[in-house]
Amino acid sequence: MELCLGTVQFGMDYGVFNQPKKDVDYCVDCLDYATQNGINAIDTATAYGIAEEVVGKFIRKNTINRNKLFISSKLLPNILDDYEKEDYEKVILDNIKKQLSVLGTDYLDAYFLHSSRYIHNPEILEALQIVKHEGLAKDVGVSIYYEDEAKVAFGNKNVQYVQAPYSIFDHRMKKVGLFDKTKIGEMKVDTRTTFIKGLIRLSDSEIPEHLEKARPILRKLDEICNETGYNRIQLAIGYVKQQEVINHLVFGVRDLEQLKQDIEAFELDIPSDIFTKMDEEFKNIDTDIVVPSLWKR
């Protein structure tokens, strides 16, 4: 498993409080620091505001060879809704070519559908293969959110890669077998929302009213931190690291200091028995806590 720096916070206001994005040069500096410290994977998307432009500026600096990088991006959400199936390939090709131009590269290592519901449409999945056939992406797949979407991916030749949510508090994908090699076969898996849009980083006094339901589980996590001597970030990253099938742990940062802390946390080896306890403590957390799109303000 490797770290993959997510760029949503580089392109738009994001997080529990929609913290404002940093300036472009600062974000490029973060990407420079990441690649100089062992992170060679970057995840982005057209839907992330100016994030692809930021990544493109970094790539054009040429401080690291493109062939040493893993770059993933995503098709704009909902973009195929107003088209007939015979137009899908053209729309997908037009979009990825624009994205590659912005990113300053002639291929992606992975290209995902950003609308997870598209996984239920075989014609869209078939059309997506055009970017692989044209050499514009090495693998294609879907950024998924829910268990039924993971099940559709199992054994589907048109889904070579999935990006899925997984964290200390969100065990849904593990329960349906996304980390079971006998179920997923050759399909590759990246995971995201390790910190649940920054929720796991919040102190008790920072928890907003609309996330009051999360307070007891965060306090329970703090108890485990006190018992074990590890902090929340170390445990959050260490928990995901237990799943060897995961290719990349995609994570986002607010600033360079967070990036440094997360890299240090990733390098720790934490005893597995600590995570066994967490499996029990946090096995049935409500979906409206762990899926940020369901948060009600």
Report phi then psi at 84, rounded to 5.
Answer: -80, 160
- Summarised one tens digit per residue, pLDDT across range 113-127 is 999 999 999 999 999
Q: Domains in the chain, please, with CATH?
A: 2-294 (3.20.20.100)
Average pLDDT estimate for 210-230: 96
Which helix (DSSP H) or strand (DSSP E) does residue 75 occupy?
A: strand 70-75
Strands 246-251 and 188-192 come out as parallel
Amino acid 47: pLDDT: 96
**Percent of the chain at pLDDT above 70?**
97
Confidence of residue 20 (pLDDT cuts 50, 70, 90): low
Tokens of 182: 């006998």
Best-predicted range by mean pLDDT (8-22, 138-152, 267-281) = 138-152
Mean pLDDT of 276-281: 91
3-class DSSP state for residue 146? coil
pLDDT band at 234 (very low <50, low <70, confident <90, very high): very high
Q: What is the pLDDT of residue 21?
A: 72
User: Under a CB-based contact definition with an 8 Å cutoff, are residues 263 and 37 in contact?
Assistant: yes
What is the Cα–Cα distance from 9 to 143, expressed in whole angstroms?
Answer: 18
Is pLDDT at 17 greater than 70 in this prediction?
Answer: no
pLDDT > 80? residue 14: no
What average pLDDT score do residues 263-288 get?
Answer: 94
What are 27-43's pLDDT values in tens digits?
999 999 999 999 999 99
pLDDT of residue 18: 59
Average pLDDT over residues 243-250: 98
Which pLDDT tens digit goes with each residue over 40-57? 999 999 999 999 999 999
pLDDT in tens, 67-101: 999 999 999 999 999 999 999 999 999 999 999 99
* C-alpha–C-alpha distance, residues 113 and 125, integer Å: 9
In the predicted model, what is the mean pLDDT of residues 1-25?
A: 83
Mean pLDDT of all residues in the chain?
A: 95
Measure the CA–CA gap between 68 and 232, rounded to whole angstroms: 31
Residue among 236, 229, 238 nearest 199 (CA): 236
Q: In this predicted model, what pLDDT tens digit does every residue of 149-167 receive, in sequence order? A: 999 999 999 999 999 999 9
Label residue 285 left, alpha or beta by phi (over 0 means left) and psi (-120 to 50 means alpha).
beta
Q: Distance of CA 144 to CAs 59, 108, 181, 224, 238, Å? A: 27, 19, 18, 30, 22
Contact 107/138 with Cβ under 8 angstroms? yes
Our CA angle for 215, 218, 223, nearest 5°, is: 125
The H-assigned helical ranges of the chain are 8-11, 24-36, 51-61, 88-103, 122-133, 147-153, 172-175, 181-184, 215-228, 232-241, 256-266, 272-281, 287-290
**Confidence category of residue 296, pLDDT binned at 50, 70, 90:** confident
Give 248's strand partners.
2, 190
Average pLDDT of 13-27? 75
* Cα gap 259→243, rounded to integer Å: 22
Residue 212 CB: number of other CB atoms within 10 A?
Answer: 9
- Give the pair of three-digit tokens for residue 155: 């054994």
How high is the pLDDT of residue 13? 79
